[in-house]
Copies of this chain bind each other. A is one copy, B any other.
Amino acid sequence: MAEKILLKGNIALAKGAIAAGCRYYFGYPITPQNDIPEFLSGELPKIGGTFIQAESEIASINMVMGASAAGARVMTSSSGPGISLMQEGMSYMAGSELPCLVVNVMRVGPGLGGIAPTQGDYFQATRGGGHGDYFNIVFAPASVQEMFDLTVKAFELADKYRNPAMILCDAILGQMKEPVVLEEREVSKPPAKPWSLTGASGRNPQFLKTLYLSDGEQEAHNLELKNKYDVLRKEEVLYEEKGLNDCEVVIVAFGTVSRIAKTAIQNIKKEGIRVGLIRPVTLFPFPTEIIRKTARNIPRILVVEMNTGQMFEDVKLSIENKIKIRFYGRPGGGIPTPEDIMREIKVLINEKSV
């Protein structure tokens, strides 16, 4: 196993992109993710790649669209407002089934907002903030190591399913340093992309579009997309679970919050209260199954987020039986402390059962 190095989350993510064979970056600066373009602007030229600081996020996502159509592994990164501006482009890419990686190191919203840690863009990421029936593949790292690993994974799944992938994380994960192992493994070269635009030499011309006019054509296309999303739901769910088989409460949390929850779980154990954890690693597809199963055995679920209750809906949609479920959230850059979470656990336990 390769040796550990101490890296900032944003840099680990950028190194993950390079490890995944991504050689094209198009983006527009925005805090708190500027380490990514700044690092890549120095690295990509060295390895024959291309770094362009686009004139806007809209140009960025459309350059990404072009490079993806041309068959390349390509990425952009931004934060809240910039991601909102990319929604038209992301909808087009989903519609023409073009793979790419879009990174959202969240800032506080709505509006300009500050850069304190937050998770307010969950809906936008998982419900397709753009128009139409589509989904992004969304990953939620919770450590600097995962900033690297999941970036590689995101490129692989994006290509496998010809679908935009997204890394959704809060500013803490982008800014903090942790030991990381940059896996040596021979990263899967991008697969062949017979659909890509390379000039129609030795084959028939082909095109990429999202406008279908003949009867039923568009509906058929949408149903194909839906099938793809259903396969993703079956095949690609990732999550971490902890202490589920012996606890009275289960916490569901993602990203940085899941780590704060772990501290809370450790501390409250000393008081004799056993709490389990489910951490969604993919937000779409969402780990519905494990939550459904767990809810059958454990009578209480506490959902904690740095927003006013977004993933909370997916958790509720996952649960079929009647149990006690509670939400605790802090929006606008407020960070739940382990003490906050311990308090909420107790409140939940003391609720008279339903």
Interface residues of A (CB under 8 A from B): 58, 80-81, 83-85, 87-88, 91-92, 94-96, 106-114, 116, 120-121, 123-124, 127-134, 209-213, 216, 218-223, 225-226, 307-308, 310, 313, 316-317, 320, 322, 330-334
Protomer copies: 2
Task: Please tell me if the beta carbons of B218 and A114 are within 8 angstroms of each other in the complex.
Answer: yes
Contact, CB under 8 Å: A130 / B113: no
| Set B84, B216, B322: member contacting A131, Cβ < 8 A | B84
Given the interface contacts A120-B131, A332-B221, does A84 sit within 8 Å of B88 by beta carbon? yes
Q: Are B108 and A120 closer than 8 Å at their CB atoms?
A: no
Q: Do residues A112 and B313 form an inter-chain contact, with CB atoms below 8 A?
A: no
- Docked Cα-Cα span, A107 to B92, in Å, equals 13
Secondary structure call for the A interface: loop
Give A123 to B136 CA distance when docked, in angstroms. Answer: 14
Contact B114–A132 (Cβ < 8 Å)? no
CA distance A110 to B316 in the complex (A): 27
* B333 x A219 contact (CB < 8 A): yes
Chosen A-B contacts, 14 in total, with CB atoms closer than 8 Å, are A84-B87, A85-B88, A92-B110, A106-B131, A108-B218, A110-B133, A110-B225, A113-B131, A113-B218, A120-B132, A123-B127, A129-B129, A219-B331, A223-B332
Least CB separation from A89: chain B residue: B84
Q: How far is the CB of A92 from chain B (nearest CB, A)?
A: 5
Within the complex, which residue of B91, B124, B317 is in contact with A130, where a contact is CB–CB below 8 Å?
Answer: B124
CB distance from A173 to the nearest CB of B (A): 17
> In the docked arrangement, what's the CA distance between A277 and B209, Å?
38
Nearest-neighbor residue (CB-CB) of A92 within chain B: B111
Once bound together, how far apart are the Cα atoms of A334 and B210, in whole Å? 16
Residues of B within 8 Å of A91, CB to CB, are: 80-81, 84, 109-111
Which of B92, B96, B111, B131 meets A95, CB within 8 Å? B111
